[in-house]
Amino acid sequence: MARYEKPDYWTLRAKKEGYPARSVYKLKEADEKFGLLKPGGGVFRVLDLGAAPGSWTLYVLRTLASRFQNGRAFLAAADLAPLSREYGNREYNGHVHGRDLFEGDHFFFMQGDITSQAVRDALVSRGPYDLVISDAAPATTGNRSVDTFRSLELAGTAADYAASSLRPGGNLFVKVFQGGDAPALLKKIREQFTTGKSFKPASCRSESFETYYLGLGKK
């Protein structure tokens, strides 16, 4: 059995807590540490890029549903692949929402390429956002420099969305494979935000070369 096929602590926990993927704990840790989904004035708006199968999407929807009243929060999400929608009304942590979290005006999903103009127009027009999160990652080839280059293109796309559609004071949380020109992206984030830093959540596989960049407080 390949190393990645063996279910680990985080995979088993995700299954138990009703999430389609272990990646949810990366966002959860960042949210708990940096207060990404904190209530503010007005409708709190989030953009989720590279969202499928939908663990981050569900985490955001569940968190917003518990922290905000109806109509006080909105999430837009996009991915090349569809979401695993059967998780929308599942029980989690002993709690069941009375409705399917993927249904309603508080949520918009578009299946498509986040680098395309059609997706960009649809997402930007639903902003401005308080938070942009991107877990978008290329299908890996095993060639580290190719994978790093493609990951960096997607992370740069997320940073462009943040530049054009984040409100002043808003935050960015984006996945990036370490290597290549990644430091140049962090430098750009530092120019656009009050704080820019690298953050590797505990649930990242130790052998993985992925990490996350945070931009806190858009200027």
State which residue, 56 or 102, has the beta carbon closest to ligand SAM: 56
Residue 42: CB minimum distance to ligand SAM, A: 26
**Which one of the listed residues 16, 28, 38, 175 is annotated catalytic?**
175
Q: What are the respective helix, strand and coil percentages of the chain, to the nearest 5?
A: 35, 25, 40
Is residue 20 a contact partner of residue 53, using CB atoms and an 8 Å limit? yes
| Residue 20, SS3 per DSSP | coil
State which residue, 42 or 207, has the beta carbon closest to ligand SAM: 207
Q: Which residues bind ligand SAM (CB under 6 A)?
A: 20-21, 23-24, 50-56, 78-81, 113-115, 135-138, 154
Residue 135: CB minimum distance to ligand SAM, A: 3
State which residue, 12 or 187, has the beta carbon closest to ligand SAM: 12
Is residue 175 a contact partner of residue 210, using CB atoms and an 8 Å limit? yes
Copy the structure tokens of residue 205: 């596989």
Catalytic annotation present for 175: yes
Integer CA distances (angstroms), 120 to 89, 151, 169, 185, in order: 28, 18, 22, 20
Distance in angstroms (rounded) separating the CA atoms of residues 47 and 60 = 10
State which residue, 45 or 175, has the beta carbon closest to ligand SAM: 175
| Residue 193, SS3 per DSSP | strand
Residue 103: CB minimum distance to ligand SAM, A: 18
Residue 167: CB minimum distance to ligand SAM, A: 22
Q: Which residues are catalytic?
A: 175
